Structure 1
Amino acid sequence: MPTPRETILAALHERLSALPATALRGDMLPERVPAEGLLILRDGEPGEPEVTLSPLRYHYQHRAEIEAVVQGADRNAVFDTLTANIGAVLAADRTMGGLCDWVEAEAPQPVDLPVEGAATLKAAVIPVVLHYSTADPLG
């Protein structure tokens, strides 16, 4: 049985996979970026939990990251649409079907990355904070 952490990350990846962009999890940046864009979900860091007793619960603010990458002449518009779609997917269900207490994204800080012999990439890391509780820090 998967842990709550893995269940939440898998659900986030599933929601990102519903977008027109290609969504990967923990993979390397491929040689080619699809025209609709590329998303790579990184598991991130759960951080130090707050602990409550009776019953014992560990409350996490897990920081996962979504790497968003687009390429091409229309990269600014494609990037804007892609990030807006990510925001809409997260806002549609802030608890991801009751798997976590709250999900929220932070603003991206996009950069343009020149690629020799190809169109410039526009990329950003979008931090996503997943608020959830577990009865065991390893579970």
Structure 2
Amino acid sequence: MPTPRETILEALADLLRTVPHVPVLRGEVLPERIPPSGLMILRDGNPGEPGVTLSPLMYHYQHRAELEVIVQTGEERDARFDRLIGRIGAAIAADRTLRGRCDWLEAEAPEPVDLPVEGAASIKAAIVPIILHYATSDALA
């Protein structure tokens, strides 16, 4: 049986897959080719140190997952990137508890960078920190 952390991360990946035409990978290496619509790679991130309540014993996490957002196209690259970030924000706003799997979900602002690629269209990429608030009775879960 998966841990609450894994259940929440998989639910987040499923939520991100609702963004049309943009593949979502989970913890994978950057592929050699980026689809024209863009690409998202969800990294597990860091659950951090939990807050603890003792009666009943609960561990309260503010888990920082990372979403890599990548667009590589010669035409309208900046506009495509902006639309993709907007779609991600809309998907998150539509389900901030991942259907009750976590207490709250929030995305922080991305910091886009332009990466030149020799012999190909440049890449626009950003890491979008996504904070997952949840509680569990097992510190290892």
Same fold (TM over 0.5): yes
Q: Give structure 1 regions of 4+ aligned residues with deviation exceeding 2 angstroms.
A: none
Partner of 1:52: 53
How far apart are 1:6 and its partner, in Å?
0.2
In the alignment, the residues of structure 1 paired with residue 91 and residue 114 of structure 2 have an alpha-carbon distance, to the nearest angstrom, of 25
Partner of 1:66: 67
Deviations 1:84-124 (CA, angstroms, capped at 9, x unpaired): 01101100011110000000000000000000000000000
In the alignment, the residues of structure 2 paired with residue 88 and residue 103 of structure 1 have an alpha-carbon distance, to the nearest angstrom, of 12
Aligned length: 139
RMSD after superposition: 0.6
How far apart are 1:15 and its partner, in Å?
1.1
The residue identity in structure 2 corresponding to 1:53 is L
How far apart are 1:72 and its partner, in Å?
1.1
Structure-1-length-normalised TM-score: 0.98
Percent of residue pairs identical: 65
How far apart are 1:7 and its partner, in Å?
0.2
Unaligned runs of 5+ in 1: none
Partner of 2:10: 10
Unaligned runs of 5+ in 2: none
SS across alignment from 2:93? helix
Pair 1:81 & 2:73 matched: no
Residues 1-139 of structure 1 aligned to structure 2 (within 5 Å) = 1-19=1-19, 20-73=21-74, 74-139=76-141
Deviations 1:6-60 (CA, angstroms, capped at 9, x unpaired): 0000000011112121110000000000011000000000000000011000000
